[in-house]
């Protein structure tokens, strides 16, 4: 243990791997059966002595489990999300003990509860059976629009027997930072058991190297609850914890040692803490309706760029600490500063939050409710409150914890699905905020749901208040991703576009299947769970790229489409972080960073942690200094086409203007040179211009607005009758760089291409790629769009500093490819979508 039936049977070869081919549908019977785990264990240390305690502790049971010890039922568990502690009497333990866990079918029990209490609304058919809302089990196990239906059972977290005289049943560290950024530490604790008489508690604060900073000993009785046993002001003794990109992440260890009067250690516990002050600021803006929705840490307001997070595996016992760590390190490499743990998964492992503390990743933590009309009858609420209390107690000391959120998309159902009641408001508006207020100090900000906020209570799509999930670009009216700037919000906590995974990942789930290698095949449908996915994908692909039936090219183009679309969202919304009183958009969390199995989805990295081009595009958009360009094409008639698109059909394109801006997330102004280069794809014409600007700190700065220049026509701009001719800017590429005025360091690049890409005859870039150890130097004679470099064969051992890049003549780029080890490279780019050796 830990154990999960699916993982055990898969590793034993007793069932086909559920993630490969169509095997998911061959193993559904597992979720309909009842399963028994049993073992024998010796009672170490002999029989219990008078006054000694023993608890049987289950950190997680999935989900309905009757527990028998030596033939006696000692626990009926019914909640996957919480630990269980069973106090035992001496008479219940023997020298050799038999433990039996009888797991029942959550699917069967959910259907029985639905029959008893009524059918509820719970999203579309893509997000699991509606009966799931009655069961406190990870909701994604019922199937989601990116995951399989695998109804796991088992002791999914550790099981142990604890013997003690007196123990620390609860320790609450209170790492506070006041309004003037002075840190202090308080501590409260509770004891369980009883040795009688006096006991002593020693509290020691140490730095990361183990050096003692402060300590104190307290006398107590073994029956009392100890509130604020210490209250230390620590000015000048500890440093503040900062999110990544804003400072360091110093962590400190609080050690608590419990001893009896003779000095014998009864129990001890350590917690790692960081000192920071975090607030969710919702205040009026200076010149727009509504309020901000922004995060402030230690008095610094910051633009958030990050990702939503789903469980990294459907077989949770395969989610090792090493996998957690590499996933979160990947996010930091991508310049992300927040991860949102989605409410249809699990409260994550301690290793997850520890890594976030160490890496400086802020955590938005949903409570485990997602896309469902959850009930509120008494027995259900009796499950929810202790679940929430235990989760908050476990997580509250983490420096990275920035927000506790009541649910995912439950309020949204009222307007989206037309339901007339939401009984669970009692959970989101009473139980959960009461728990958060009572159990966190300093108090963690609480938000009742995601999305939530608006002048109309049930209008969760109001872009002027609260957070929003922006799905108009995909699941709504299928608007053009070029219109992200018209479809933003104060904080966009979900948005995204899909793409196929890495070709090696596709090969993995095809396994030995030889056929079906075309975009709309049965196999690709099996590994694409979203409703209407192909229709929606076809719209975006057809609008932006030339139609292809070649499988390899199609896979590459889906990945480029996602990269262009998601990258544009980060770029445009970050521009709306315009400084005090004008923080119109304070964050973007893409749906999603990861997958629970190999699948086509919105993930920016696939199940095997293979980044898609989108990962690199968003990493560039979240650099401390960035430059952005938006092109607007003037047509001869009003129309509903994207403003960036050139038209040559019913409408004619007459001219184009461009806006260039810079973003500076640092807290200091930066003097830069803006270098703008122009290339014509249809001639040898090119031009350039240079300007010096000061980027204001912690905001965006508009730099330049002008007409897009183009080569001289050499003839009148109008036809003989006076009608204007189409603009020649439809073949113009605009490249911008920001260069530090003193060091000459290139801080940021962006290349704006005429759109849609399907109208461009991409030239041969005449690539020059030179490899020197782990450095890959790329130069071109003609501009190249979306250059994707890879190695032939196994790719996972290579870590790229950047990829899917645009390169223009005169601006060579050097990439770091750690682990290349002299292997040959292959390349793909727009105009040459099939990989070839270089």
Q: Are strands 401-405 and 362-366 parallel, antiparallel or unpaired?
A: parallel
Least confident of 234-238, 324-328, 604-608, 718-722: 718-722
In 3-state terms the chain splits into helix, strand, coil percentages (rounded to 5) of 20, 35, 45
Q: How far apart are CA 589 and CA 586, in angstroms?
A: 10
| Start-to-end Cα distance in the chain | 49
Average pLDDT over residues 545-561: 95
For residue 795, the model assigns a pLDDT of 72
The CATH code belonging to domain 623-760 is: 2.60.40.10
Diameter over CA atoms, the chain:
108
Q: Phi/psi at 291 (nearest 5 deg)?
A: -140, 165
Domains 5-161 and 623-760 share a fold: no
Q: How far apart are CA 817 and CA 800, in angstroms?
A: 5
Average pLDDT over residues 395-406: 98
For residue 224, the model assigns a pLDDT of 67
For residue 415, the model assigns a pLDDT of 84
Mapping DSSP to helix (H, G, I), strand (E, B) and coil, where does residue 192 land? Answer: strand
Tokens standing for 694? 């000061």
> For a pLDDT cut of 70, what percent of the chain falls above it?
99
Give the DSSP per-residue string, 448-506.
Answer: S-BSB--SSTT-TT-TTSSBEE--TTTTSS---GGGGGGS--S-EEE----B---HHHH
For residue 732, the model assigns a pLDDT of 97
Homologous superfamily of domain range 5-161: Galactose-binding domain-like (2.60.120.260)
Question: With the C-alpha atoms ordered 725, 782, 562, 342, is the resulting torsion angle positive or negative?
Answer: negative
Task: List the catalytic residue out of 409, 621, 647, 833.
Answer: 409
Average pLDDT over residues 616-632: 98
Mapping DSSP to helix (H, G, I), strand (E, B) and coil, where does residue 66 land? Answer: strand
For residue 797, the model assigns a pLDDT of 82
Find the radius of gyration of the CA atoms of the chain. 29
> Among residues 362, 355, 364, 401, which one has the least CA distance to residue 246?
362
Q: How far apart are CA 66 and CA 105, in angstroms?
A: 12
Q: How far apart are CA 554 and CA 610, in angstroms?
A: 18
The CATH code belonging to domain 762-838 is: 2.60.40.10
- Hey, how many other C-beta atoms are within 10 angstroms of the C-beta on 811? 18
Instruction: For residue range 408-458, list pLDDT tens digits in order.
Output: 999 998 888 888 889 999 999 999 999 999 999 999 999 999 999 988 888
The Cα angle at residue 104 between residues 99 and 108, in degrees rounded to 5 = 175
For 715, residues 6+ apart whose C-beta sits below 8 A from its C-beta are none
For residue 722, the model assigns a pLDDT of 85
> Among residues 788, 792, 779, 778, which one has the least CA distance to residue 833?
788
Average pLDDT over residues 560-570: 97
For 271, residues 6+ apart whose C-beta sits below 8 A from its C-beta are 171, 173, 253, 254, 397
Instruction: For residue range 344-390, list pLDDT tens digits in order.
Output: 999 999 999 999 999 999 999 999 999 999 999 999 999 999 999 99
Least confident of 43-47, 503-507, 688-692, 705-709: 43-47
Which one of 3.20.20.70, 2.60.120.380, 2.60.40.10, 2.60.120.200 gives the CATH number of domain 163-273?
2.60.40.10
- Hey, how many other C-beta atoms are within 10 angstroms of the C-beta on 766? 11
Q: How far apart are CA 730 and CA 121, in angstroms?
A: 49
**Residues in a beta bridge with 691:** 674
Give the DSSP per-residue string, 301-349.
Answer: EE-EEEEEE--S-SSGGG--HHHHHHHHHHHHHTT--EEEE-TTS-PPP
For residue 592, the model assigns a pLDDT of 95
* Integer CA distances (angstroms), 604 to 46, 139, 271, 340, in order: 54, 22, 33, 14
Mapping DSSP to helix (H, G, I), strand (E, B) and coil, where does residue 396 land? Answer: coil
Tokens standing for 371? 């896309």
pTM score above 0.85: yes
Mapping DSSP to helix (H, G, I), strand (E, B) and coil, where does residue 825 land? Answer: strand
Q: Report domain extents, the chain.
A: 5-161, 163-273, 623-760, 762-838
> For a pLDDT cut of 90, what percent of the chain falls above it?
87
Instruction: For residue range 632-678, list pLDDT tens digits in order.
Output: 999 998 888 899 999 998 889 999 999 999 999 999 999 999 999 99
Tokens standing for 211? 């050096």
210, with CB counted inside 10 A (0-12, 13-18, 19+), is exposed
**Residues in a beta bridge with 205:** 214, 254
* Integer CA distances (angstroms), 465 to 7, 234, 337, 399, in order: 44, 38, 22, 27
Instruction: For residue range 20-68, list pLDDT tens digits in order.
Output: 999 999 999 999 999 999 999 999 988 999 889 999 999 999 999 999 9
Mean pLDDT of the chain: 95
Q: How many helices (H) and strands (E) does the chain have?
A: 13, 40
Average pLDDT over residues 593-600: 97
Q: How far apart are CA 704 and CA 606, in angstroms?
A: 38
Q: What is the 3-state secondary structure (H, E, C) of 279-303?
A: EEECCECCCCCCECCEEEECCEEEC
Provide the phi-psi class of 181: left if phi over 0, else alpha when psi is between -120 and 50, else beta.
Answer: left
Q: Phi/psi at 283 (nearest 5 deg)?
A: -135, 160
Catalytic annotation on 659?
no
Instruction: Give the residue with greater pLDDT, 494 vs 724.
Output: 494
Cβ contact 161:54 at 8 Å: yes
For residue 478, the model assigns a pLDDT of 67
Q: How far apart are CA 83 and CA 71, in angstroms?
A: 22
């Amino acid at each position: 243990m830990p154990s999960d039936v699916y993982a055990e049977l898969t590793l034993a070869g007793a069932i086909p791997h559920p993630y490969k081919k169509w095997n998911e549908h061959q193993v559904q019977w597992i979720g309909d059966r009842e399963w028994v785990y049993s073992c024998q264990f010796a009672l170490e240390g002999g029989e219990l002595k008078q006054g000694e305690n023993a608890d049987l502790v289950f950190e997680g049971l999935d989900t309905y489990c009757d527990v028998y010890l030596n033939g006696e039922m000692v626990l009926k568990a019914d909640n996957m999300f919480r630990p269980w502690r069973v106090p035992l009497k001496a008479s219940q333990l023997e020298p050799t003990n038999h433990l039996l866990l009888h797991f029942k079918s959550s699917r069967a029990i959910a259907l029985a509860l639905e029959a008893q209490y009524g059918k509820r609304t719970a999203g579309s058919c893509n997000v699991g059976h509606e009966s799931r809302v009655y069961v406190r089990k990870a909701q994604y196990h019922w199937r989601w629009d990116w995951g399989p239906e695998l109804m796991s059972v088992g002791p999914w977290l550790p099981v142990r027997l604890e013997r003690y005289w007196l123990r620390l049943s609860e320790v609450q560290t209170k790492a506070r930072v006041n309004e003037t950024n002075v840190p202090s530490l308080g501590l409260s604790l509770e004891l369980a058991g009883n040795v009688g008489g006096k006991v002593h508690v020693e509290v020691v604060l140490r730095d990361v190297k183990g050096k003692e900073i402060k300590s104190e000993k307290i006398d107590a009785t073994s029956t009392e609850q100890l509130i604020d046993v210490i209250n230390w002001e620590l000015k000048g003794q500890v440093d503040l914890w900062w999110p990544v990109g804003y400072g360091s992440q110093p962590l400190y260890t609080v050690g608590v040692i419990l001893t009896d009067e003779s000095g014998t250690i009864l129990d001890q516990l350590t917690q790692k803490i960081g000192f920071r002050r975090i607030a969710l600021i919702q205040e009026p803006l200076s010149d727009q309706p509504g309020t901000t929705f922004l995060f402030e840490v230690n008095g610094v307001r910051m633009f958030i760029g990050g990702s939503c997070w789903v469980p990294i595996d459907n077989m949770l016992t395969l989610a090792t600490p090493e996998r957690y760590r590499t996933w979160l390190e990947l996010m930091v490499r991508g310049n992300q500063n927040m991860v949102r743990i989605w409410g249809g998964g699990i409260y994550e492992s301690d290793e997850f939050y520890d890594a976030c503390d160490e890496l400086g990743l802020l955590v938005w933590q949903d409570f485990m409710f997602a896309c469902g009309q959850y009930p509120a009858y008494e027995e259900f609420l009796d499950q929810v409150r202790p679940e929430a209390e235990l989760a908050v107690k476990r997580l509250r000391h983490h420096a990275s914890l920035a927000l506790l959120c009541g649910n995912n998309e439950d309020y949204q159902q009222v307007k989206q699905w037309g339901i007339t009641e939401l009984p669970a408001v009692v959970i989101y508006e009473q139980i959960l905020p009461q728990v958060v207020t009572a159990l966190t100090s300093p108090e963690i900000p609480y938000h009742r749901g995601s999305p939530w906020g608006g002048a109309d209570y049930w209008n969760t799509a109001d872009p002027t208040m609260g957070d929003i999930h922006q799905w108009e670009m995909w699941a709504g009216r299928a608007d053009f991703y070029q219109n992200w700037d018209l479809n933003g919000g104060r904080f966009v906590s979900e948005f995204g576009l899909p793409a196929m995974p890495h070709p090696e990942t596709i090969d993995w789930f095809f396994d030995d299947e030889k056929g079906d290698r075309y975009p709309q095949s049965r196999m690709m449908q099996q590994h694409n769970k979203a409703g209407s996915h192909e229709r929606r994908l076809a719209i975006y692909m057809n609008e932006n790229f030339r139609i292809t039936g070649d499988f390899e090219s199609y896979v590459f183009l889906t990945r480029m489409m996602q990269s262009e679309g998601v990258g544009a969202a980060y770029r445009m919304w970050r521009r709306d972080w315009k400084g005090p009183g004008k923080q119109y958009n304070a964050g973007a969390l893409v749906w999603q960073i990861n997958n629970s199995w190999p699948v086509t989805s919105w993930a920016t990295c696939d199940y095997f942690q293979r980044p898609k081009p989108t990962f690199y595009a968003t990493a560039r958009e979240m650099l401390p200094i960035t430059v952005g360009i938006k092109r607007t094409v003037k047509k001869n008639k009003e129309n509903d086409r994207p403003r960036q698109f050139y038209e040559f059909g019913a409408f004619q394109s007459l001219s184009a203007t461009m806006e260039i801006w810079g973003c500076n997330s640092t807290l200091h102004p930066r003097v830069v040179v803006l270098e703008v280069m122009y290339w014509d794809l249809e001639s040898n014409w090119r031009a350039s211009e240079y300007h010096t600007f000061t980027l204001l700190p912690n905001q965006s700065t508009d730099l330049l607005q002008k007409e897009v220049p183009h080569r001289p026509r050499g003839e009148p701009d109008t036809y003989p009758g006076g009608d204007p001719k189409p603009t020649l800017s439809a073949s113009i590429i605009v490249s911008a760089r920001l260069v530090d005025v003193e060091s000459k360091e290139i801080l940021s690049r962006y290349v704006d291409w005429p759109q849609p890409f399907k109208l461009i005859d991409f030239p041969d870039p005449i690539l020059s790629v030179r490899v020197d150890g782990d450095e890959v130097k790329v130069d071109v004679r003609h501009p190249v769009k979306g250059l994707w470099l890879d190695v032939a064969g196994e790719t996972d051992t290579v870590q790229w500093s950047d990829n899917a890049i645009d390169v223009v003549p005169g601006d060579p780029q050097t990439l770091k490819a750690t682990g290349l080890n002299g292997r040959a490279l292959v390349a793909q780019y727009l105009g040459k979508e099939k990989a070839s050796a270089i």
